[in-house]
Structure 1
Amino acid sequence: MTATTPRVAPASSGRPARKRRKVDMSSPRQLSRGQAVLQGIVLTIGAIAFLFPFYYMVVGSLQAAPDTTVAGAFPNPANITVNNYININERINLGTGLISSGIFTGGVILCTVVFGMLAGYALSILQWRGRGTTFALALLVQVVPFQLLMVPLYVLIARNYGLADNYLGMILPFAINSTAVLIFRQYFLQIPKELFDAARIDGAGEFAVLRRIALPLVRPALVTVLLLTFIGPWNEFLWPFLITKEASMQPLAVSLANYISTVAASSTNPYGAILAGAVVLAAPVVVLFIAFQRYFTSTDIGSGVKG
């Protein structure tokens, strides 16, 4: 039999053992009080610099007598009026322009979201021949300027299809947006494939997988595409100007441009009237961003799969 040698415990030094502090590298570094104050000052100055043009636009639209100097940013209360909005509404009918812009923008958003989601899902989840080539073509489309395609598009839509002075003719060139396709594709690639495999095992088809699994997890992408798509057609001028001749169908951006080039000189305060129209045109964009800014956060997609 072999004798076992007992283990001797190490002598204690009499001092309590130090516990190693676990450093969380994912938590943000705490700023000192001076750094926090400096950061707040810099952000405040930047916010004022970015918001001042909007403030000046609103103030200028409410002035009875135009004041283009720096002092015009702080107008006399006696010089404040809403007559500029009334005058420009009598000339171009702001309500009709807003409705036309809404129809045009809404149609573009609907087509962009539907086609972009389907194309992004096909390019990221489905396996089919030519997927890489199609994705490369989608990237290549972004370097082609729209102005280069405007003349053939006008001939095709206005002459061949007869869609001049028609909302469908305004919407068709913007119905598919390659940027939206790329955004949806990148978000779909972040979703674990186990979710799709589990849904297919349960008997769900591809459209059911897209609707029930993928779509709820890419809500930030949906909101991002909605906001980015909204800005383009809402401010679009050149294509609606070419395709529409009836004033009742022209979007507000086209109506304002026509007002500036034709009847602004005959107005008592053309500067204020133009700014009033610009405020009406910019207001929906500002409201939309304020309403949906909380959705610009990334979701923890990986939490849908248990480790």
Structure 2
Amino acid sequence: MVVGSLQATPDSSPAGAFPAPGNLTLDNYVAVNERINLLQGLVNSGIFTGGVLLGTVVFGLLAGYALAVLSFRGRGTIFALVLLVQVIPFQLLMIPLYVMIARNYGLSDNYLGMILPFFISSVAVLIFRQYFLQLPKDLFNAARIDGASELRILWSVAIPLVRPALLTVVLLTFIGPWNEFLWPFLITKEASMQPLAVSLANYISSIAASTANPFGSLLAGAVVLAVPVVVLLIIFQRQFVSNDIGSGVKG
């Protein structure tokens, strides 16, 4: 994908994976940036994804902790509903969600309207719950004896011990909204507010064919969209390895 985005003349043969220096250019990036603002698209994607990440982590931690550590009536029923939500495809809910958010709440052409449907993730709740269940109950009981509140226990005792789960949720959550284009496209038609994935989808459907090198321009946009995900994966991969090594050391 990177090589194709740098080719002045497309070469899809195996030899094209090692292009001649004279066939390398940045014109494809310039061409796609002239039609869609790549920087603005990245900023919009960051706002959308950042809002989803914030809600997913906060509510996932709170709900996962409650379902795993606290004892209250109906806990099993709530957990069953969390599992049930996962079998309902988002596409089935898209039309009623659009009517509720765009028409009833008036949040069309609004970042909040993009974020709300993804603000709470049942997958994150399940992941945090399973990790919290693995922690010894004596840790929480000792903190309660010392007078710590449940929020204090969650912040000071539970969260530091479920760091791998936190990183997993961030990675899984980031990829979804970062690549989401259908829901933001429904909520806003303002080009200045559309995430990069939406702008690229519009570019592919209506503009790319008219450019000098449609193949290279498409790949250039795809590279820009993929770079933040790859960087995040590389950074977090080091944290995963560190956590795995530390978990095998006693004392």
> Shared fold by TM > 0.5?
yes
Residues 63, 75 of structure 1: 8 Å contact kept: yes
What one-letter code is carried by the residue in structure 1 that aligns with 2:46? G
What one-letter code is carried by the residue in structure 2 that aligns with 1:194? D
Change (3 A) 1:168 1:302: farther
Question: Does 2:148 align with 1:198?
Answer: no
Residues 217, 301 of structure 1: 8 Å contact kept: no
- 1:189 pairs with one of 118, 123, 133: 133
Map of 1:53 onto structure 2 = none
Identical-pair percentage = 75
Map of 1:119 onto structure 2 = 63
What is the DSSP-based 3-state SS (H/G/I as helix, E as strand, rest coil) of the residue aligned with 2:113?
helix
Unaligned runs of 5+ in 1: 1-56
Question: Does 2:114 align with 1:170?
Answer: yes
Map of 1:66 onto structure 2 = 10
Residues 98, 252 of structure 1: 8 Å contact kept: yes
Distance in structure 1 (CA, Å) of the matches to 2:164 and 2:234: 15
Residues 191, 302 of structure 1: 8 Å contact kept: no
Shift of 1:294: 2.2
Q: How does 1:9-24 map to 2 (within 5 A)?
A: none
Map of 1:225 onto structure 2 = 169
Q: Which structure has the larger Rg?
A: 1
Shift of 1:263: 1.0
Shift of 1:69: 1.8
Map of 1:286 onto structure 2 = 230
Question: Does 2:72 align with 1:128?
Answer: yes
Map of 2:42 onto structure 1 = 98
Q: TM-score, normalised by structure 1?
A: 0.79
Question: Does 2:221 align with 1:277?
Answer: yes
Q: Which has the higher helix share?
A: 2
Q: Deviations over 1:84-129 (max 9, x none)?
A: 1111011001000000000000000000000000000000000000
Q: Deviations over 1:46-95 (max 9, x none)?
A: xxxxxxxxxxx000000011112222111111000001111101100100
Q: How does 1:149-160 map to 2 (within 5 A)?
A: 149-160=93-104
Shift of 1:302: 11
Q: Deviations over 1:159-181 (max 9, x none)?
A: 00000010000000000100000
Higher relative contact order (CA closer than 8 Å, sequence separation 6+): 2
Distance in structure 1 (CA, Å) of the matches to 2:41 and 2:85: 31
What is the DSSP-based 3-state SS (H/G/I as helix, E as strand, rest coil) of the residue aligned with 2:71?
coil
Q: TM-score, normalised by structure 2?
A: 0.96
- 1:89 pairs with one of 28, 33, 41: 33
Map of 1:11 onto structure 2 = none
Distance in structure 2 (CA, Å) of the matches to 1:205 and 1:303: 29
Q: How does 1:72-83 map to 2 (within 5 A)?
A: 72-83=16-27
Q: Deviations over 1:186-225 (max 9, x none)?
A: 1101111111111000000000000010011011111110
Shift of 1:295: 2.4
Distance in structure 2 (CA, Å) of the matches to 1:168 and 1:181: 22
Unaligned runs of 5+ in 2: none
